[in-house]
Amino acid sequence: MKKHFLLALISVVAFSCSSHEGDTTSETQEIKEEVVVETITETEDETGFIHTVFFWMDSTLTDEQISEFEAGMENLLNIESIYHGYYGPPAMTPREVVDNSYDYAFVVHFKSKQDQDLYQKDSLHLQFIADYKSYWTRIQIYDNLVNANSSH
């Protein structure tokens, strides 16, 4: 998403810096505005469903096993129905209301609940569970719908 905006911004800057015979200032401004409007339209977030998984890992895992688990999460992001995805450890923010007790969070966005349903049945997801379920001692999942009017 940011790449589209940056590309459009570069185009606008490049266009405004070059000289065009016959262009008036108002024509140049109109073209700039069209590029920006088109870019904003392209970068709208289509997230409709967020699936968040927290993992508490077995303390006896080796560094190699942890690396394998991370590679497994990275591989999950190849599932076609995922719109956006991220994973990582807690930020260790020192606030009383923040739970930093988990070891990894895996957060994926879907355009719809139906896409999330496809993810649940996907062979990569099922294989991840089979391969790594012995790596965690606890798992907690939160799913939420996204109000289309709430994105900024």
Rounded Cα gap, residues 67 and 74, in angstroms: 10
Identify the pLDDT of residue 125.
98
pLDDT for res 147: 84
Cβ proximity of 79 and 53 under 8 Å: no
Confidence of residue 45 (pLDDT cuts 50, 70, 90): confident
From first CA to last CA, the distance across the chain in angstroms is: 14
Give the pLDDT band of residue 98 (cuts 50, 70, 90).
very high
Region of residue 98 (phi > 0: left; psi between -120 and 50: alpha; otherwise: beta): beta
Q: pLDDT per residue over 56-75, tens digit each?
A: 999 999 999 999 999 999 99
pLDDT at residue 38 greater than cutoff 90: no
Whether 24 shows a pLDDT value over 80: the answer reads no
Query: pLDDT band at 149, cuts 50/70/90?
Result: low
How far apart (Å, rounded) are the C-alpha atoms in residues 8 and 35?
Answer: 6
| Residue 19 binned pLDDT confidence (cut-offs 50, 70, 90) | very low
Give the pLDDT confidence score for residue 122 in this predicted structure.
Answer: 98
What average pLDDT is seen over the chain? 82
Predicted confidence band of residue 43 (pLDDT cuts 50, 70, 90): low
pTM score: 0.70
Q: Which two tokens stand for residue 89?
A: 């450890």
Report pLDDT for 49.
97
Kindly state the percentage of the chain with pLDDT values over 90: 66
Return d(Cα 72, Cα 79) in angstroms, integer. Answer: 12
